[in-house]
Copies of this chain bind each other. A is one copy, B any other.
Amino acid sequence: MLKGKMVIGQSGGPTAVINQSLVGAVLAARQQDAITGILGARHGLAGIMAEDFIDLTTQSLEQLEDVANTPAAALGSVRLKPGKAECEKVFEVFKKNDVRFFFYIGGNDSAETAYIISEMAKEANYDFCTIHIPKTIDNDLKVTDHCPGFASAARFVALAFMGDDRDNNALSGVKINVVMGRDAGFLTAASALARQHEGDGPHLIYVPEKVFNIEQFKADVVAQVEKHGRCVVAVSEGIVDADGNPIATSGEKDSHGNLQLSGTGALGDALSALVKEALPKGARVRADTFGYLQRSFPTVVSTVDAKEAREVGGFGVEHAITLGTNGSVAIRRLSSVPYESDYFVTPLSTVAREATSLKDEYINDAGNDVTQAWLDYLAPLVGDLPKMGKL
């Protein structure tokens, strides 16, 4: 039976519940005799390479519960797609410290990293178990029904649109809200949960899975303004034209070499300008870019999400001890009404690298709204929402 230290790290963009997964794994690990040390890597792979670890055996339960309820990665996170040299360095550090278990909380890039290191261990005949613990507000991991972190961000988006739709109703005009999601429209599509009454916004929803046609967009907005006297638009930061190019960006690139989409108002402002062209002069047009608040807002947490994020951490550790096979923890939906789920482990290769996106059946034919099937999938994850009163 495998016995030795474990390393746990957090990677990529934080979520409101990524620390639930950390605490779930740590609490489970503390019960295991086979785990002789619990090392938290500061800033993911960067911390492992630098042997910058926190001992996670000493904190009180109260402190861990506070951490679990705090958004964003308590160990620190990192945006690093490691090359072979970095993975070799990580593996060296593991061998040197008798690390036999590696838990990496992150998205598909993290699963890929876990996979590469697991292959190195296999080649080197080093007894070792790597578990990827899923996390992403983008909800774009394969195999799993949904990703821990997504439902809380979706709850933020739904609540934001509920309030903003009432705001727009009070003062009228066109309001464009830019939602996170580079390649997948899950989070933008969550805005549809804001609708409780006939005529409620968002009135239009645009996701990166469909080509964004500027002329069609302008015509769509004009039609909604004619119908409702106002229009609330949900648009993903990742919308692209027919050639796959972003509609507007600041031109900056992030550390992955991707164009920076979040943390700038460029797209919202560009879309506002387009709408102003299409409407009579003086029309009230505003754009907000929800930005980083979506993934790290205290108190806006889905109950299901917090519970599942906690449990995937613990499940990963128990799997590593009892079966010892590498893999990525996934969620299986057993029932939507009432909502029930359980967990299983899928091979790392099935989650690594490629991501997924909104299924066709979740997007309407016109490409400017979602379907009832999408709402049926989403609603139980986000949980009850407050009732919006009207006169």
Q: Please list the residues of chain A having a beta carbon within 8 angstroms of any beta carbon in chain B.
A: 10, 13-14, 16, 19, 40, 43, 54, 56, 59, 63-79, 159-160, 162-164, 166-167, 169-171, 175, 250, 254-255, 260, 262-266, 268-269, 272, 284-293, 295-300, 385-391
- Complex CA gap A114/B353 in Å reads 63
Partner among B77, B268, B284, B389 whose Cβ is within 8 Å of the Cβ of A63: B389
Of chain B, the residue at the smallest CB distance from A176 is B263
Contact present for B298 and A288 (CB under 8 Å): no
Inter-subunit contact B266/A265 (CB<8 Å): yes
Q: Contacts A264-B287, A297-B159: A69 and B386 contacting too (C-beta < 8 A)?
A: yes
User: Known contacts A288-B291, A296-B167: does B67 contact A389 (CB below 8 Å)?
Assistant: yes
Q: Are B69 and A389 interface neighbours, CB within 8 A? A: yes
Contacts of A296 in B (CB 8 A): 163-164, 166-167
Interchain CB contact (< 8 A) of A163 among B71, B285, B290: B71
Q: Which of A14, A77, A272, A288 has the most CB of B within 10 A?
A: A288
Output the nearest chain B residue to A74 by Cβ-Cβ distance: B391
Q: Measured between alpha carbons, how far is A125 from B266 in the docked complex, in Å? A: 56
Q: Which of chain B's residues have a CB closer than 8 A to the CB of A43?
A: 170
Known interface pairs A163-B72, A288-B293; A171-B14 also in contact (CB < 8 Å): yes
Across the interface, which residues of B come within 8 angstroms of A295, CB to CB? 167
Judge whether A264 and B255 touch: CB under 8 Å. Answer: no
Q: Are A289 and B289 in contact (CB under 8 A)?
A: yes
* A290 CA / B294 CA spacing, docked (Å): 11
A388 and B159 in contact, given A287-B263, A292-B167 (Cβ under 8 angstroms):
no
